[in-house]
Amino acid sequence: MRRLRRFFLTGIIVILPAAATIYALWLVFNFLDQLAGQAVGLFLGRRIPGLGLALTLAVVLIAGFLATNFIGRFFLNLWDQVMYRIPLVNSIYRTVKQLVEAIWRDDKKAFQHVVMVEYPRRGIYSLGFLTGPAPAEASMRAASDLVNVFVPTTPNPTSGFLLLVPREEVIPLEMPVEDGLKLIISAGVVGPAGRTASGGAGWGQLLQGLTDNGTIKNPGWRRRRDAAE
């Protein structure tokens, strides 16, 4: 019975990453397929799985091709003028467009820099992302050169706090943005280069954490607590 329990827990550890990846891809596929799939279904009289996804990708490619020539840019500018004239729609459209332009701008180094700041109090450091200089008015009123630092929450990095921090108090890190996001999403369990915070990596160490009877050996947090004591 103990061996069955160990096999069951090992199977969960091995299958869970692949299952989560497949589920996420399935959600993306369904979302893209439904964008144009319903319209295609009304035209053809029946749904064809995958056709909506193919049509959506084709529309994106055609839009990208048109945006690279003079005529396409003319119609894009005309489209912007139309969207800016529609109440309520203009605020949403303008905000999303500015966000996309900020992400895909040529100067991406400042936007993708991982930093540390003392937050929420002195002596405690939070991981954040430098997004650029603060508004000139804020720097002027604070009498300091302020920068925008986004401090995401764990484990959901899409929410967080925007901090205006003096530039000299920001500690830049050599850590890539991808590793910084991994560290935040995993609550510090997965460190840079995919290594665990305890220094190990790969399936070997993960599966060694199970004893023969299916229970967990001395976990990392307990080892760190014992070392501290």
Smallest CA-to-CA distance from 137 within 149, 128, 150, 146 is with 146
Residue 186 in any domain: the answer is no
Q: Are residues 119 and 160 in the same domain?
A: yes
Residues 149 and 169 occupy one common structural domain: yes
Of the candidate ranges 95-104, 116-125, 190-199, 213-222, the one whose mean pLDDT is the lowest: 213-222
Q: How many domains does the chain have?
A: 3
Say how many C-beta atoms besides its own lie within 10 A of residue 220's C-beta: 15
Residue 67 has pLDDT above 70, yes or no: yes
Could you tell me if 174 and 162 are in contact, meaning their C-beta atoms sit under 8 angstroms apart?
Answer: no
Give the pLDDT of residue 205: 59
Residue 217: pLDDT band (50, 70, 90) is low
- 148 with 98, same domain? no
pLDDT of residue 162: 94
Q: Is residue 91 in a domain?
A: yes
Same domain, 60 and 81: no
Please give the backbone phi and psi of residue 145, each rounded to the nearest 5 degrees, phi first: -80, 100
The residue with greater pLDDT, 59 or 115, is 115
Range of the domain at 86: 70-102
Length of the chain: 229
Q: How does residue 158 score in pLDDT terms, banded at 50, 70 and 90?
A: confident
**218 burial class (0-12, 13-18, 19+ CB within 10 angstroms)?**
exposed
Higher pLDDT: 174 or 99? It is: 174
Q: Is residue 36 a contact partner of residue 59, using CB atoms and an 8 Å limit?
A: yes
Q: Are residues 13 and 26 in the same domain?
A: yes
On whether residue 130 sits in a domain, the answer given is yes
**Beta bridge mates, 149:** 130, 163
Closest residue by Cα to residue 187 from 163, 152, 215:
152
Residues 45 and 88 in one domain: no
Q: Are residues 75 and 57 in the same domain?
A: no
Does 125 share its domain with 161? yes
Q: Which residues, other chains included, contact 111 with Cβ-Cβ below 8 Å and sequence gap of 6+?
A: 102, 103, 105, 129, 130, 131, 132
Mean pLDDT of all residues in 53-80:
84
Task: Supply the pTM of this predicted model.
Answer: 0.55
